[in-house]
Amino acid sequence: MDNAQLIAVLASIVLQASPLIIAVCGEILTERSGVVNLSLDGTMLMAAMLAFVVGMKTQNVWLGFAAAAAIGALFALIIAFGSIRLGQSQVAIGFVLTLLGDDLSAFLGQNYTRMRGVIVPHYGIPILKDIPVIGPIFFNHDIVVYFAMALIAVTWWWLNRTQPGLRLRGSGERPTAAFARGVDVNRQRYFYTILGGALVGIAGAAFSLNVKIGWSDGHIRGMGWVALAIVIFGGWSPIRGAFGALLFGATKALATVLQRAFPQVSVVAFNSLPWVLMILVLVAVGSDYTERFINAMPKSWRRPLRRVLRISPPMALGTPFHEG
């Protein structure tokens, strides 16, 4: 493989990762506020289908994105309402919505499978795209990919450097303390669940209009679960999450390359590779042995090592909050 090919592969990894990054950032906002939106797989399928159909009918790709964001927000609203107002299990509602989104997208989208729709226009950023190596990998894509990149930075900044971000984290970590400081915890959770859902919807649209163009039954089945796994792998941080999304894309690309290099090994081994790796990584970050390893290190190393190797979920994740 020569350099040009390598750059093309890396650029495609960035493109492939962009919808996952958007979904991961959305889910991070939701989960940091204390709500689990488990319906990602179904939501993204619904959004991908709807974005494709709306885009095709109106011949406007951005209306497709708007429709996808709306359906994502609607699914998230069901979860927020069911869990916050009705006190239902978030996991149960999310799981049922996953199945429903899968079935409903297959049903509503059956007349639109394998058709030509609209796609996001290519737009290379002037000047930046001409930087050697980095330019073609990162800056020679389209608006959606740039949106994903910007979203990583904005999400991180919002969570860690702003007042509203502090309220958001308070709602997910110590809701009672946040409440005592005057934060309307449940309103925060409503807001970020719906916002996160809208982003997940946009991620679905980014698949069907940009990355895996078109629609067929079960088009992107499984990607929602990948996004959920990456949120955990990324320790609920947008930067680590984006890294995880790129890593997932890289393992898939690696599997394709390896498959060509070792045609005698079964394709199954390579198809399973990203999943096995992901489990192994989750084992590594969760294991007690990692903690022992960190404690065996010099004192000044422990904090940065822990930040890289350990993850801990928002403390109030998945638990309902009752005022007073």
Partner 1 sequence: MYEFFGKHPRLARIVDLLLPVIATLAALGVGAIMLQLLGANPVAAYRALLSGAFGNKNALADTIVRATPLLLVALGICIAFRAGVINIGGEGQLVAGAILGTLVGLWFPEAPGIVIVSLALVAGFIGGAIWGGIPGILKAYFNVNEILSTIMLNIIAVQGMNYLLRGPMIDPVQAQAASRIPQTARLAQAFDLPRLVPTRLHLGALIAVILAFVVYIFLWRTTAGYRIRAVGLNPDASRYAGINVKRNIVLALVLSGAFAGLAGAIQVFGVHHRMFTDGSLAGFTGSAGFNGIVAALFGKLNPLGAIPASFIFGALIVGANSLQRAMQVPAALITALNGLVVIFVVSSEIFSRRLNRSRQIGSDVATATSSSDSSLSSALSVEGDTSQ
Segment interacting with partner 1 (CB under 8 A) among 47-55, 105-113, 166-174, 182-190: 105-113
Q: How many CA atoms lie within 13 A of 29 on its CB side?
A: 28
> Which listed residue (8, 150, 279, 297) binds partner 1 by CB under 8 A?
279
Q: Among 50-58, 92-100, 126-134, 159-167, which window interacts with partner 1 (CB under 8 A)?
A: 92-100
Nearest to 168 by CA among 27, 32, 73, 35: 32
> Which of the residues 161 through 220 are near partner 1 (CB under 8 A)?
217-218
Which among 4-12, 144-152, 223-231, 298-306 is the span making contact with partner 1, rule CB under 8 A?
Answer: 223-231
Nearer to partner 1, 44 or 93 (CB): 93
Count of all residues that appear for the chain in the document: 324
Both tokens of residue 213? Answer: 């163009």
Please state the closest distance from residue 314 (CB atom) to partner 1, in A.
Answer: 12
Please give the structure tokens belonging to residue 49. Answer: 């289908």
For partner 1, the closer CB: 288 or 323 = 288
Please report whether residue 244 would count as binding partner 1 according to CB under 8 A.
no
Select 106 or 258, whichever has its Cβ closest to partner 1.
Answer: 106
Q: Which stretch binds partner 1 (CB under 8 A): 62-70, 124-132, 175-183, 277-285?
A: 277-285
268 in contact with partner 1 (CB under 8 A): yes
If one asks whether residue 38 binds partner 1 (CB under 8 A), the answer comes out as yes
List 275, 294, 305, 306, residue binding partner 1 (CB under 8 A): 275
- 34 CB contacts (<8 Å, ≥6 apart)? 171, 172, 175, 185, 189, 314, 316, 317, 318, 319, 321
Among 232, 242, 245, 255, binds partner 1 (CB under 8 A): 232
* Residue 51: partners with Cβ closer than 8 Å, 6 or more residues away: 64, 65, 67, 68, 201, 204, 205, 208, 209
Applying the rule CB under 8 A, the residues between 110 and 129 that interact with partner 1 are: 110
Token readout for 95 is 């799981």
Q: Which of 142, 159, 257 is nearest to 206 (CA)?
A: 142
Q: Is the dihedral of CA 108, 113, 118, 121 positive or negative?
A: positive
- In the DSSP assignment, the letter for residue 121 is P
Q: What's the CA gap between 101 and 275, in Å, rounded?
A: 23
Count Cα atoms within 13 angstroms, Cβ side, for 189. 32
Residues 303-322, interacting with partner 1 (CB under 8 A): 318-320
Choosing from 112, 123, 146, 225, the residue that interacts with partner 1 (CB under 8 A) is: 225
Residue type at 63?
L
Q: What are the residues binding partner 1 (CB under 8 A)? A: 36, 38, 82, 86-93, 95-97, 99-100, 102-104, 106-107, 110, 217-218, 221-222, 225, 228-229, 232, 266, 268, 271-272, 275-276, 278-279, 282-283, 286-288, 318-320
